[in-house]
A and B are shown apart, each in its own frame.
Chain A
């Protein structure tokens, strides 16, 4: 949002919107409600907001231990706001917790998940709370804490763990990964395997999990970008912003009409705010654009409202204003007038969540076979470089697989020959971060993909070529590699020589 107001804004958005909505008593009602003046609520209405409110003043002695402490200082809370006959009514859902934030609403609209901290000394974990008056229940007990919850289509919840330290660049030890857990079960399943952190997960309408990662921790690429996986951790795929410079990305959310809105800021920026941007879900690589005309980073959160508008949390237009919740039409860009939806001057409304608009996201049956320790990778033509220049005369004759060691070094797992048509089919260790190098006849590296992908047990993964365009379909050609049994990474040269059908 560009807070530089036009003259109409001089009176302050907050008061104007309350007047427009005929809710002159709204603020008083809110305050009354927050003071405990709200009575028994028989049911949850369809229209409601779930807010994360942070105190306007943080104790000077407070020292954040992790990024959630930074985002949600002590006293931060989750608040349910509903329109009542006498104005907006608010109920604190996290009253029993020391701090809370990052709420998401279940597709059914009757529950929320959020990150919470029970005591000043405890770790952040995922809590769930029915929207009817009830106490939140801890859903996770992850060492190092958990954050960024989502509801998965099959009823499980997903989250990132551990909670990174302040200033963590998402690479190296302590980086967060995505996990899934079925309610009522202690067992968690890891979904990501060390790309360079996995945060800010959200569910796309096609059932995939969209998340933010730091790119490859092994390629000196430190910008954050968006990736997708299926809900079982298969098919790690770049989604957007992989080549867009040093940006930090927060809170991606898909709207029913097919936009993914998110906040971006310079990677080096210290603040928690970001610019408001969007990509089209249909073709995210070629459609990134700013929603507001300014690059001022003043937003803390964005959430599709379900009526073509976006709800954002942003600072008010006047000096000293708190953060509030506003609605804007992304198609209007700079001409858009920001409509204030809710602002309690005693608190910062830093995040807003609503019942997920649109149809329920598509589910998916998992293809993971936990009894296996390997997956397969089929490359159709490793000599296909897409739009990248191909080194003159260089033709890959073999592929070497790489994996990082716990110490951060790169280990060679082995080499496999490439078929004359550039294809190879290989069995690779599952749940392991992998990279590869294509080698010419003399063993010289032609191209190198740093460790940046994995397969799940039993997963069959494919790629078109070496650094193919992200939006490219394959040619309809029967790869020679599928006519022979899959090769095993790490097989000895003697073993490989005895394999049938290797036509190299």
Chain B
């Protein structure tokens, strides 16, 4: 009673102050803020809204019952105030690493600090650092050890640094979101290949002139690259599966590129594989190795045990393009999630895999593994990834690391393995002769006092799922999408196959889930999530707070080149269509069918449930959450069940009676323009 009295008093004071301020001739914006405030307080107290407010809410929402509608569904959001737009603490987080050909220096990209550093491998001291703007991510070094090449993921460039002076000496524009980079001395000159994650291609760069020679289409989200020692081949591993129907097993692409002819010569599908973030070559045997997650998204998630949702492995392929073999890294009751990087020892007998979710480096006896593959029947090869007894035959050691080992580098003699412990700001040194820890280079304090850092540690930690089978990141690489649909059994087996949604740019876009039932991220990631997916204890309240802090710190994905500053003519025309209230011939578009009505800026969502005629054969409800559109161009597929493989398909294949915005008047050029605008959001 006392608390209630205090609330009423506060509201009364608020109302009084409000009236006072109104009498002081407030600006329209401030007056609106005041109205929202007063309305919120009345709603909190269970009081009826005024007739004027009711009319406004019914008219704008298109709903008769507005009991669940608040002013804040449409008002009061400012992008500048969202967590992902706030300054945040930066960490010396180790990313891409490369060792100089003489083994004397280790170069490390610190994406968060926009620096590349040089570490003396003998003294293990930091020798020099060079500022590299634009989130330096991937590193490569030329054969002579004179030039470093750095991908700048935010700026869409690859930069060149001299090792002598550690100075930037040039850069080349590339595709969207470059990550992996490889150096190849070809007969036609020194070449770089750069994996452009956002544009789904690789740039082939002349390393001397730093000019882009060509772009070669790859699989979705190309990430890891390597080159053959003779400079003839470039190998590209892609993270996301090609878009297919919801009943078809996904497949990622391993692309083999002829670097002299600068074109793809093999496109090897890796069945049901995704999140391949690295690729390595065993030149003596001609095997290409890429770590991968074997996903089982077509099966209802009735259980997690026995790799029912996903398991980890290595895909083996031959340069000649024969059918790849997938070998398990996991065992029946022990899983090593998120295999992020793989390197092969120069002698060719061992491979090392960093499990970013499992905090382990797995040492593989390649002789044993290849021996098994070579004697196996085609059927056994095909089933190998499902056999969780196999790894015991070729896994030599599992070496524990600190949190989130994601990048590996071997010294030229192969005796020392450097492991980037990403979320601890440290580099682990492993003596590969004994498979023991040889030391650690501390780059910072680990950032444990930063809730965003703590949240990311939870987000990437597989130990919070049953037997460590996967982490949040396993389905949300970089907090984004994996492009797959899943069938959770919490709502019935076979019902509601659901498209995975991006967590980037999510702050302020409540409610969550496709049915819009979760009012906050803390609820979304809470006990129900633990029951349905983690199959373990739920996150504690403090952990949830950190996890939400991390998720809300992620800005929206980017589907547009950083080199474009202003809207193109097509994008401008598309913007006009998006905000149109009338068709070009003057007919009025009903308010609730105007794009910006439901997808209202600045988040491009009304945060209400809407029926856009997308109900599918297994969908139980018509009205679904209106997704925000920030980064929408990078988050295919679309609709709640992922049936639309592109933005175009939303209106060419899956539009029903103009329920999803009036599009029947558009010609193909207008539709293209609209899509181009959406990709700018």
B553 to chain A, nearest CB (A): 28
Q: A365-B531, A476-B272, A482-B487 are contacts. A471–B305 as well, Cβ < 8 Å?
A: no
Residue A10 CB within 8 A of the other chain: no
Output the nearest chain A residue to B531 by Cβ-Cβ distance: A365
Residues of A363-380 at the interface with B, using a CB-CB cut-off of 8 Å, are 363-367, 376, 378, 380
Any B CB within 8 A of the CB of A55: no
Which single member of A206, A285, A482 contacts B389 (CB below 8 Å)?
Answer: A285
Closest to B311 in A: A473
The closest CB in chain A to the CB of B537 belongs to A363
Of the candidates A258, A280, A472, the one having the most CB atoms from chain B within 10 angstroms of its own CB is: A472
Taking the nearest CB of chain A, how far is it from the CB of B39, in angstroms?
38
Q: A153-B537, A281-B333 are in contact. Are A364 and B392 (CB under 8 A)?
A: no
B-contacting residues, A467-501, CB 8 Å: 469-479, 481-484, 486
Write out the residue numbers on chain A whose beta carbons fall within 8 Å of the beta carbon of B527: 365
Q: Decide if A473 touches B333 in the complex (CB within 8 Å).
A: no
The verdict on A478 contacting B299 (CB below 8 Å), with A367-B531, A472-B388, A473-B385 known, is: yes
Name the residue in A237, A474, A484, A486 with the highest tally of chain B Cβ atoms < 10 Å from its Cβ: A474
Which of A287, A462, A486: most chain B CB closer than 10 A? A462
In the bound complex, do residue B334 and residue A363 qualify as a contact, i.e. CB atoms below 8 Å apart? no
A476 touching B299 by the CB < 8 A rule?
yes
Question: Which of A281, A425, A469, A472 sits near B334, CB closer than 8 Å?
Answer: A281
Determine whether B367 belongs to the interface, using a CB cutoff of 8 Å to chain A: no
Contact of A283 among B271, B298, B305, B333 (CB under 8 A): B333
- Taking CB atoms, residues of chain B closer than 8 Å to A153 are 537
Tell me which of A280, A460, A472, A479 contacts B306 (CB under 8 A): A472
Given A378-B300, A460-B493, A483-B494, A364-B332 contact (CB < 8 Å): no
Chain B, interface residues (CB within 8 Å), range = 35 or more
B258 at the interface (CB under 8 A from A): no
B297 within 8 Å of A by Cβ? yes
Task: Return A73 CB to nearest CB of chain B, in Å.
Answer: 38
B19-31 Cβ-contact flags toward A at 8 Å (1 or 0): 0000000000000
B300 pairs with A460, CB closer than 8 A: yes
Chain A residue at minimum C-beta to C-beta distance from B299: A474
Q: Does B489 contact A (CB under 8 A)?
A: yes
Residues of B within 8 A of A470 (CB): 332
Establish whether residues B272 and A471, one from each chain, have CB atoms under 8 Å apart when the complex forms.
no
Nearest residue (CB) in A for B527 is: A365
A309 at the binding interface (Cβ < 8 Å): no
Q: B610-660: which have CB < 8 Å to A?
A: 618
| Complex CA distance for A281 and B335, rounded to whole angstroms | 12
Distance in angstroms between the alpha carbons of A482 and B271 in the assembled complex: 22
Residues of chain B within 8 A of A365, CB atoms compared? 527, 530-531, 535-538
Question: Which parts of A306-365 form the interface with B (CB within 8 Å)?
Answer: 362-365
Q: A364 near B386 (CB under 8 angstroms)?
A: no
Are the CB atoms of B302 and A460 closer together than 8 Å? Answer: yes
- Mask, A439-451, CB within 8 Å of B = 1, is 0000000000000
Q: Is B679 an interface residue (CB 8 A)?
A: no
Tell me if A283 and B392 are in contact (CB < 8 A). yes
A482 and B385 contact, Cβ closer than 8 Å, known pairs A284-B333, A365-B537, A473-B308: no
Q: Which chain A residues have a beta carbon within 8 Å of chain B's beta carbons?
A: 153, 206-207, 235, 237, 258, 280-287, 362-367, 376, 378, 380, 425, 460-462, 469-479, 481-484, 486
The 25 listed contacts between A and B (C-beta, < 8 Å) are A153-B537, A206-B466, A258-B334, A280-B392, A283-B331, A283-B333, A283-B391, A283-B392, A287-B392, A364-B466, A364-B536, A365-B535, A460-B300, A471-B332, A472-B387, A473-B296, A473-B311, A473-B386, A474-B386, A476-B250, A476-B294, A476-B295, A477-B249, A482-B487, A483-B618
Q: Which residues in B have some Cβ–Cβ distance to A below 8 Å?
A: 247, 249-250, 271-272, 294-300, 302-303, 305-308, 311, 331-334, 385-389, 391-392, 466-467, 487, 489, 493-494, 527, 530-531, 535-538, 618
8 closest Cβ contacts across the A-B interface? A482-B494, A282-B334, A363-B537, A471-B332, A473-B307, A282-B331, A460-B302, A478-B298
| Given A476-B249, A476-B250, 14 more pairs with CB closer than 8 A | A206-B466, A363-B537, A365-B531, A365-B535, A365-B536, A425-B494, A461-B303, A462-B303, A474-B299, A476-B299, A478-B298, A478-B299, A482-B300, A484-B494
